[in-house]
Amino acid sequence: MDAEWGTEWTKGDVFFHSAGKTKKPTFEPKSEVMITFEEAQEITLGQAVSFGVEEISFREVPGRVLAAGITADADIPPFDKSAMDGFACRRSDLGNPMRVVEVIRAGFPPQKPIATGECAQIMTGAALPEGADVVIKVEMTEVAEGAETMIVFKGDRTSANICYRGEDRKAGELILPAGMLLGARHVPILATVGAVRVMVARSPSVGTLSTGTELVEPAAVPGISQIRNTNAYQMLAQLGAMGINADYCGIAPDDPEQTRRMIGEALEADDLVILSGGISMGEYDFVPSVLKSLGIRILFSQVAIQPGKPTLFGTKKGKFVFGLPGNPVSSYFTLELLVKPFIYECMGHRWNPSLLRLPAGKAITRRKSHRMSWIPVRLTGDGKIIPVEYHGSAHILALSEAFGVVAMPIGQTEIKEGDWVNVQLL
């Protein structure tokens, strides 16, 4: 697929990226310059392309992005119905005994209109009979003395307790717009309007690859100077939470030729390749040079965030590569902060993280402020946030205790106790 970015438009409420219609924003590669997080976001989102649309069952929509707007095929509710078990009657008769003329169950139409002095026993969800304008609760009535088929309203006042036809949506009205990220809560909405086949955006196919001779698979017992490969499975889990069944392409050793072969095969198989490790400044961090030899145009390779400085992004004719840091906390954060928004942008959805505004339970300080810091925090019993014990970007156990992360912008060295801050949930 050509990587030229097009305009967003709709045709019959179907979301499109019209590749080739308009040029993408052009960026000068900044592979040797550390850029801000905001610049990294702008560059990655500006390179996003559509991978088309597909039709799936409404039962499969959680985690997918709606490509065609969904409209109501009928009024919702489709008829006036009772909101509770009770008696349907005329409000003008509430001060008088009323004769029960029928019992109306859900799923069965009323057989008789309600005249003056009459009522019908009605169940929740049953259609309101003609003539009735109120439903009174069972517990607000009693049987009239000496007449088993007569009831009397014993309350002072009552609401209508009626769900009116079309009060939620009218037939033909939009209920779910294109570009919406769908979840389990949308499945019953689709079922309500009979939308059993749904048009959604295709997600890019994704391959993940870890680098480093020191890595062994989790089932192995590490030898001297070896560690288990956690990053790949962390990335697979994060992508899985987005509904993406990513390919695992293995561990590339610290050998340029083998690394080049493995990355090349991953690029052949998938639209997006996510690497971890091998992109810093060490003697064996040759992934950037390997990517360049494969024709990847590296748009940046350093971002002013902590953790996560050695983060790389590159493109090649509809193929995309993210190089994430080797330390697990860094790779976790950079996937959440840069990769996830990019993937959703390709699917037509502008992703915004869930934020809570909470007070700091203690001061959070740092000495250096030339990079944006992402600080893992936990929630206290009194609704405040405090930093978790955190030994740096290799401290993967810190994530298990974290409720969320707090950003400390460039130039800021302290969040004071009591300051209200935005917490991005994990």
CA angle 46, 52, 53 (to 5 degrees): 125
User: What is the pLDDT, as a whole number, of residue 337?
Assistant: 94
Tell me, what amino acid is at 113?
P
User: What is the pLDDT, as a whole number, of residue 390?
Assistant: 74
Predicted TM-score (pTM) of the model is: 0.84
User: What is the pLDDT, as a whole number, of residue 28?
Assistant: 58
Mean pLDDT, consecutive 10-residue stretches, the chain (426 aa), reads: 32 35 51 89 97 97 96 97 97 95 97 97 98 96 81 94 97 97 97 97 96 94 94 95 95 94 97 90 74 96 94 96 93 95 97 94 93 93 90 70 92 96 93
| Whole-angstrom distance, CA of residue 83 vs CA of residue 385 | 42
Q: For domain 21-51+202-346, give the CATH number.
A: 3.40.980.10
Phi and psi of 84, rounded to 5°?
A: -165, 170
| Whole-angstrom distance, CA of residue 331 vs CA of residue 236 | 12
Contact 418, 360 (CB under 8 A): yes
| Whole-angstrom distance, CA of residue 88 vs CA of residue 118 | 9
User: What is the pLDDT, as a whole number, of residue 147?
Assistant: 67
Whether residue 307 is preceded by a cis peptide bond, meaning omega within 30 degrees of 0, is: yes
CA-wise closest residue to 343 among 267, 218, 268, 240: 240
May I ask the CATH class of domain 355-425?
Answer: mainly beta
Phi and psi of 111, rounded to 5°?
A: -105, -20
Domain ranges of the chain: 21-51+202-346, 81-163, 355-425
| Whole-angstrom distance, CA of residue 329 vs CA of residue 403 | 14
CA-wise closest residue to 179 among 356, 48, 72: 48
In 3-state terms, what secondary structure has residue 406? strand
Superfamily of domain 81-163: Molybdopterin biosynthesis moea protein, domain 3. (2.170.190.11)
Rg for the chain, CA atoms, rounded: 30
